[in-house]
């Protein structure tokens, strides 16, 4: 892992300086430059749908795989090479920053993660340690290993949970249907929420800066649960903190992909946070979305992950349809609208990558 204050500029800046005309297509698309082929990767591309990953999980639990850089790097590399995708998202988990804040994480199969103790009041928030992410160096160490493996040929995608999604996990203690505890806090004690954001945002920025210093050329922020909020609540309780994190990361010279779900009613507001690319779920048409956004950002997505289970003919038509919707403007990255499902057939996923790469309009 490279320390934050290394004099080495971020990897993305290196690419740009050394090979101005041969940047990987994922990075070119993030900057809305023309590409030879549409870049493609999958959220959760290293996961249970992959036999080799299941074999590793039979030997180690999820936290061990995340915490041991050599294992996390191997999983990351294996998935990217098996699929032939245009980016290697680091194998990790968005809840890891909870540990240096004093929470215990556990993962039971089927029920999603559990975080203890739950965080419910201002006193508990005030008592959270100020942590600058030093304990999370193992993530950046894994990034460095993947970057050393691929060099400039394949960008490493670093990531973190966005502030709202991470906070809601801490407050709810796990996945939630209605996010009542989170909303109670938002609506009854904005000061406590702001205090929580003051604890989480610097930690996220530090953790992402470490990943960039270690070689991550793109950062994706996962705001998987933010779609539980109305646009007005998003604007008040979420947007300022997203903007802060996104600006801090992009100031390092790497583009941010901001991914959320259930937010098709207020894409314009998401875009105000300034991420280079918006990652969309499948509940909005890409061409409509891009028009609404005035083509002012890149777009990533947005095939329904369930479509990966469709017959190959049907799936191929759906892939073609997305590509057809995005030919007019540079800045499109093919992906699913959420993480790849465990039920997905690996061969089908590989075929999708081939179809995207073979496509030429």
Out of 6, 106, 288, 296, the residue judged to bind a second copy by CB under 8 A: 288
Please report whether residue 334 would count as binding a second copy according to CB under 8 A: no
Three-state DSSP class for residue 262: coil
Please report whether residue 78 would count as binding a second copy according to CB under 8 A: no
Tell me which H or E stretch contains 302. Answer: strand 298-303
- Cβ within 8 Å of residue 318, ≥6 positions away: 303, 304, 307, 310
DSSP letters for 97-133: GGTTTT-EEEEETTTEEEEES---SHHHHHTS----S
Active-site annotation holder among 4, 28, 31, 48: 48
Rounded Cα–Cα distance for residues 145 and 214 (Å)? 9
Active site residue 31: no
Q: Identify the sign of the CA torsion 260, 134, 218, 5.
A: positive
Q: Which stretch binds a second copy (CB under 8 A): 77-85, 153-161, 203-211, 263-271?
A: 263-271
Please report whether residue 174 would count as binding a second copy according to CB under 8 A: no
The nearest distance, CB 310 to a second copy, in angstroms, is 4
In 176-297 the beta strands, taken as DSSP E runs, fall at 216-223, 256-260, 277-279
Please report whether residue 346 would count as binding a second copy according to CB under 8 A: no
Q: Under a CB-based contact definition with an 8 Å cutoff, are residues 203 and 160 in contact?
A: no
The nearest distance, CB 358 to a second copy, in angstroms, is 22
Binding residues for a second copy, how many (CB under 8 A)?
39
Q: Which two tokens stand for residue 298?
A: 């890149």
Rounded Cα–Cα distance for residues 33 and 25 (Å)? 9
The nearest distance, CB 64 to a second copy, in angstroms, is 27
The nearest distance, CB 37 to a second copy, in angstroms, is 24
Active site residue 121: no
Please report whether residue 230 would count as binding a second copy according to CB under 8 A: yes
Q: Which stretch binds a second copy (CB under 8 A): 39-47, 102-110, 194-202, 311-319?
A: 311-319
Active site residue 292: no
Please report whether residue 231 would count as binding a second copy according to CB under 8 A: yes
Please report whether residue 321 would count as binding a second copy according to CB under 8 A: yes
Q: Which two tokens stand for residue 221?
A: 């922020």
Active-site annotation holder among 15, 49, 53, 169: 169
Nearer to a second copy, 70 or 111 (CB): 111
CA distances from 201 to 55, 167, 194, 207, 217 (A): 35, 10, 10, 10, 20
The nearest distance, CB 147 to a second copy, in angstroms, is 34
Active site residue 184: no
Rounded Cα–Cα distance for residues 360 and 327 (Å)? 10
Residue window 264-283: x/- pattern of binding to a second copy, with contact defined by CB under 8 A = xxxx--------------xx
Active site residue 258: no
Nearer to a second copy, 107 or 187 (CB): 187
Please report whether residue 198 would count as binding a second copy according to CB under 8 A: no
Active-site annotation holder among 28, 57, 235, 351: 57
- Residues recognised as catalytic: 44, 48, 57, 93, 169
Positions touching a second copy (CB under 8 A) are 178-180, 183-184, 187-188, 227, 229-233, 262-267, 282-285, 288-289, 302, 304-307, 309-311, 314-315, 321, 337, 341, 343
């Amino acid at each position: 892992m490279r320390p934050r204050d290394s004099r080495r500029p971020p990897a993305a800046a290196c690419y740009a300086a050394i090979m101005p005309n041969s940047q990987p297509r994922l990075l070119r698309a993030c900057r809305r430059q023309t590409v030879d082929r549409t870049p493609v990767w999958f959220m959760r591309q290293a996961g249970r749908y992959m036999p080799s990953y299941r074999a590793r999980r039979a030997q180690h639990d999820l936290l061990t795989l995340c915490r041991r850089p050599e294992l996390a790097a191997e999983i990351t590399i294996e998935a990217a090479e098996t699929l032939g995708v245009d980016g290697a998202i680091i194998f990790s988990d968005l809840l890891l920053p909870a540990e240096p804040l004093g929470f215990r994480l556990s993962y039971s199969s089927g029920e999603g993660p559990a975080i203890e103790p739950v965080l419910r009041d201002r006193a508990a928030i005030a008592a959270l340690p100020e942590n600058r992410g030093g304990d999370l160096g193992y993530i950046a160490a894994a990034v460095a290993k993947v970057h050393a493996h691929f060099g400039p040929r394949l960008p490493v995608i670093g990531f973190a949970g966005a502030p709202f999604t991470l906070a809601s996990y801490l407050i709810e203690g796990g996945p939630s249907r209605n996010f009542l505890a989170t909303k109670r806090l938002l609506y009854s004690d904005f000061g406590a929420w702001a205090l929580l954001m003051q604890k989480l945002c610097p930690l996220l920025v530090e953790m992402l800066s470490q990943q960039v210093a270690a070689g991550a050329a793109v950062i994706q922020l996962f705001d998987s649960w933010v779609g539980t909020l109305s646009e007005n609540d998003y604007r008040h309780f979420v947007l300022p903190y997203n903007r802060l994190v996104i600006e801090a990361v992009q100031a390092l010279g790497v583009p941010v992909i901001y991914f959320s779900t259930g937010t098709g009613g207020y894409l314009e507001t998401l875009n105000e946070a300034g991420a280079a690319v918006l990652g969309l779920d499948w509940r909005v048409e890409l061409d409509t979305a891009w028009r609404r956004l005035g083509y002012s950002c890149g777009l990533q997505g947005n095939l329904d992950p369930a479509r990966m289970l469709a017959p190959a003919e049907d799936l191929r038509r759906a892939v073609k349809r997305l590509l057809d919707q995005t030919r007019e403007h540079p800045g499109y990255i093919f992906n699913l609208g959420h993480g790849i499902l465990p039920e997905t057939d690996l061969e089908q996923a590989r075929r999708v990558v081939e179809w995207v790469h073979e496509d030429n309009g």
